[in-house]
Amino acid sequence: MSSITRRELLKRLLGCAAATAGTVVVAESVVAKAQEPTETTDVTPKEPEERADQLAEKFPEPTGDLEATSFVNRAFRNGGGFVNGGFRNGGFVNGGFRNGGFVNGGFRNAAFRNW
């Protein structure tokens, strides 16, 4: 899978379809958004696991051996991809970051972060 394809998938995940209208337009819309006054709410922040659970419902199930250790190991280990509907089926990681990319079962920045 080419990195372009991977990026298409990332864009899909992020709902960035508007990006096809052009970088400048999207960037401007982001700037405008960033300048809006911050809304104050009294909503209690959700726990990390609660948030992850809700995202797991929102996004289709991961396949393969996707592990949470990827947070530190930077590894979507042994592929299986990111999530369904785009990242799976070889998607996000298998076959493709940079120059044949994802090697050694590891995301480029292994747990040790200084490389």
Q: Which residues bind another protein (CB under 8 A)?
A: 3-4, 7-8, 10-20, 22-23, 26-27, 30, 33-34, 47-49, 51-52, 54-56, 58-60, 62, 65-74, 76, 82-83, 85-86, 97-99, 103-115
Cα–Cα distance measured from residue 64 to residue 108, given in angstroms and rounded to the nearest whole number: 19
Decide if 44 contacts 36 (C-beta within 8 A): no
- For the bound state, the minimum distance from the C-beta of residue 104 to another protein, rounded and expressed in Å, comes to 4
User: Is the Cβ of residue 10 or residue 90 nearer to another protein in the bound state?
Assistant: 10
- For the bound state, the minimum distance from the C-beta of residue 94 to another protein, rounded and expressed in Å, comes to 13
User: Is the Cβ of residue 32 or residue 42 nearer to another protein in the bound state?
Assistant: 32
Residues 39-59: b if buried by 16+ CB within 10 A, e if exposed = eeeeeeeeeeeeeeeeeeeee
Element housing 4 (H / E): helix 3-13
Cα–Cα distance measured from residue 109 to residue 49, given in angstroms and rounded to the nearest whole number: 24
User: Is the Cβ of residue 82 or residue 94 nearer to another protein in the bound state?
Assistant: 82
